Amino acid sequence: MGKLGISIYPERSTYEKDKAYLDLAHQYGFKRVFTSLLQITEDKEKVLADFKKVVDYANALNMEVMVDINPDLFAQLEISYDDLSFFDEMGAYGVRLDLGFTGAEEARMTRNPYNIKIEINMSQGTSYVDNIMAYSPNTENLLGSHNFYPHRYTGLEYNHFVACSEKFRKYNLNTMAFVNSHAATFGPWPTQDGLCSLEDHRDLAIGTQVKHLLLTGLIDDISIGNAYASEEELKAMAEAFYSPYPALKVVPEASITENERICLFDNRHSYRGDRSAYMLRSTMTRVIYKDKEFPPHTTRDIVRGDVLIDNVGYGQYKGETQIALKAMKNDGRVNVVGHISPDEQFLLDYLKPWSSFKLVEVK
């Protein structure tokens, strides 16, 4: 089972605020904590003391702290990739290498005596991970995570994200990507337009970002890049992440009947395997509710994203639930009962035949 995560930046906030945020995230089942040592300007002892306090608190909650570092920091803190005791003393679960070495060093690092995880950058699209694998790492201690991008329009393009993720998937390595909180106000740097891995996610609701990453089948763990997400966002993220099925948001038509509402929102839907280019069919509602009434109403022509129920005019199809994938003419036998929320219509491309899903009502 994958894990949810948050990010904290102790040098940009206070211990009290970080502690309260860790408590809240823990309450919603979050396990991972990302933090960054990239911005360190003070001496080693000061760094260790400040970070250790908040890391110790996260550890007390059984959360796993991943510390972002780069090769310059090893020199600055006078530590060697052969000796990760500094991070063990700090209480870190693992270190994320913002920039890597040559492959041999990373492989050696995965065999450290503390079992500290080594998380490497997934977003580069090079043969970096193949290189590391050639040096026989301990894959139990090797993880991958995508970058996050504080500058609008610099986030990952979707096809690049897929290609990069597949390089890690083929070795069965744990993968992680970042999503963006809209309530959060800061990250590791002064400038930020949010902090997500995929550019397409920047303005989406956090639950929708999570659903998308899960539907790609490429990402195990999902973390919020910026701080602090609101309780509402943590809750929405946990609901999306731990739901047994993806749940698409539906805006119902004002004319929807009670029977139609039951069809949509009180059932788990299954995408019929003999797929059509025009519609996604969930046929069980016509069987379960065959004795219920479905009179004609709202029989306008159909556009992509419309949620449909065949009315009594369609004979044996009466009560079947469908989602339009393309525009269609309506001869009066199909009721338009709602539409997939515009921000989630793109998720229709990720639902697979024979998969199950839920529909949830939004205003």
CATH of the domain at 275: 2.40.100.10
pLDDT of res. 38: 66
| Domain stops at, among 195, 224, 243 | 243
**For the packed helices 206-216 and 231-242, what is the interaxial angle rounded to 10 degrees?**
20
Both 196 and 262 in a single domain?
A: no
d(CA 184, CA 148): 14
Q: Where in the chain does DSSP place strands (E)?
A: 4-7, 32-36, 64-69, 94-97, 117-121, 142-145, 174-179, 221-224, 247-252, 269-270, 279-282, 306-310, 321-324, 334-340, 356-361
Both 104 and 232 in a single domain?
A: yes
Both 123 and 198 in a single domain?
A: yes
Both 23 and 91 in a single domain?
A: yes
Range of the domain at 161: 4-243
pLDDT of res. 42: 67
Q: What's the start-to-end Cα distance of the chain, in Å?
A: 32
Q: Which residues of the chain have pLDDT under 50?
A: none
d(CA 173, CA 121): 12
DSSP letters, 266-332, are SS-EE--SS--SSEEEETHHHHHTTTS---------B-TTEEEEE-GGGGGGTT-EEEESS-B---S
CATH of the domain at 96: 3.20.20.70
Q: If we measure between CA atoms, which residue out of 181, 244, 169 comes closest to residue 208?
A: 181
| Interacting residues of 311 by C-beta distance below 8 A, sequence separation 6+ | 294, 295, 296, 297, 299, 318, 333, 334, 335
pLDDT of res. 320: 98
Yes or no: say if 177 and 146 are a contact pair by the CB < 8 Å rule: yes
| Residue 16: other Cβ atoms inside 10 A | 8
Both 257 and 186 in a single domain?
A: no
Instruction: Give, in degrees to the nearest 5, the angle at Cα 48 between 105 and 5.
Output: 70
Both 84 and 167 in a single domain?
A: yes
Both 238 and 254 in a single domain?
A: no
pLDDT of res. 51: 85
**For the packed helices 44-60 and 15-27, what is the interaxial angle rounded to 10 degrees?**
30
Both 118 and 217 in a single domain?
A: yes
Both 239 and 268 in a single domain?
A: no
